[in-house]
Structure 1
Amino acid sequence: MAVKKKKYSDATLDDMAGYVLMQESDRGAFIVAAALLEDLLKTLLGRVVERKSNAAKAKTDFMRSAQSFHGAITSSHILDVIDQDTYADLMLIKEIRNKVAHTFSHFIVDDEIESMILKLSRFKRAKAFCASKGFTEEYLEAEAEKAKTTGEKVPSHITCVFSHIVLLMAIDLSFDTEDVVDSIKEFFTELFKPVTGGEKQ
């Protein structure tokens, strides 16, 4: 049975929305997002393994086999630490991360990456949350036009939705809800900020 974890409400996500709008390049943002989820997953897996066995060497050997992102995802799924949807989502995010990391030319969110994001199980919830905050495709396109004269970074709609998917997954992968807030804020503070001009009008 999957480990039960505390969940934050959307009201708390609202308080953190300023941390999930990209000001980093799309390439950097996808790589950092995957790194955050990988780190949280390994922490969660380590805590579960710690509870399951008293054999120190066996635990060390097991965690060594889960050092890669792929290893951590598959080990977590086999131990029923994560459900099927989370397993599939993490595999897709790993695939996106690998594609982004191995693209040497100028990177843009192309149709292939967008179609992968659309397959993520939390996509509809994240898209609805973005819309509820006013971060619609039309709004972000208008802000991007304004930003052409200021040079400020405005996220695309798909990047905004992906950011909220990552936030939802980060919360789902955390045992301690206070810890995850601190982790996400610390990890994303330099990468994320509210859309141009701060507070939306």
Structure 2
Amino acid sequence: MSNLTDEESRQRFEELFTEMFSESDRGCILIGASVLDETLGLYLRSRLERNDHVAKHAAEALFSGMGPLSSFSSRIKLAYCLGLIEKWEFEDLERIRKIRNKAAHEYSGKSFADNEIIQITMHLQGADHAVSAAEFYREKVEQSEMPKLKDASAPPTKERLRFQFAVVYLAGRFDMHWTLLHKSNDQ
């Protein structure tokens, strides 16, 4: 299991989220869910892999191929059962997974203008937490550069922003937990 430095972690998130913010609605949904799947998987693995032997001979099989923790759904449920995520995080992850499944598995193009997706994004609590955090850190947020959308003529919808804020907030929390756990294990 590799340890990322704070700078590597920051760069990784910057690249992932720049891509998510610059994509079409469907691309944003798929990338956002993928980011959460990856960061939740890293967080879970860090809690399960006590040593290199466990990582190589047990955890690897759980998370790869057809392993029981290879799906986003199973990772969400295990993290919640183990008390690694709060109820609101579980519910948001399930909502994001549902939106992802609609974007990935339905032939018609799904967007944040779709009524069903609008209804789901209205309940993403991570977006509310992200807005609260942004208000708390307003000065830093105002000084940061937001990624530009490919189609600058069309500003993002409220639903798209709620989705993006929820993804960024949740992924940041999982990454922070993973990083803190690694730092405490290294000491």
TM-score by length of 1: 0.61
Residue in structure 1 matched with residue 57 of structure 2 by the alignment:
57
Q: Deviations over 1:34-76 (max 9, x none)?
A: 0000001111111100138965534344433101111111121
Going from structure 1 to structure 2, the CA distance change for 1:59 and 1:125 (only over 3 Å counts) comes to: closer
User: Greater helix percent: which structure?
Assistant: 2
List gaps (5 residues or longer) in structure 1.
1-11, 135-146, 178-201
Residue in structure 2 matched with residue 85 of structure 1 by the alignment:
88
Q: Deviations over 1:63-118 (max 9, x none)?
A: 33101111111121222222221111111110000011122223332121111111
Q: Greater relative contact order (Cα 8 A, min sep 6): structure 1 or 2?
A: 1
Offset at residue 173 of structure 1 (A):
0.7
**Preserved contact between residue 89 and residue 126 of structure 2 (Cα < 8 Å):** no
Residue in structure 2 matched with residue 112 of structure 1 by the alignment:
116
Q: How many residues align?
A: 150
Matches within 5 A, 1:89-100: 89-100=92-103
- Over the aligned positions, Cα root-mean-square deviation in angstroms equals 3.4
**Preserved contact between residue 37 and residue 169 of structure 1 (Cα < 8 Å):** yes
Name the CA distance, whole Å, in 2 between partners of 1:96 and 1:103. Answer: 11
Letter aligned with residue 108 of structure 1: S
Identity of aligned residues (%): 24
**Preserved contact between residue 21 and residue 155 of structure 1 (Cα < 8 Å):** no
Name the CA distance, whole Å, in 1 between partners of 2:165 and 2:134. Answer: 8
Going from structure 1 to structure 2, the CA distance change for 1:95 and 1:21 (only over 3 Å counts) comes to: closer
**Preserved contact between residue 21 and residue 160 of structure 1 (Cα < 8 Å):** no
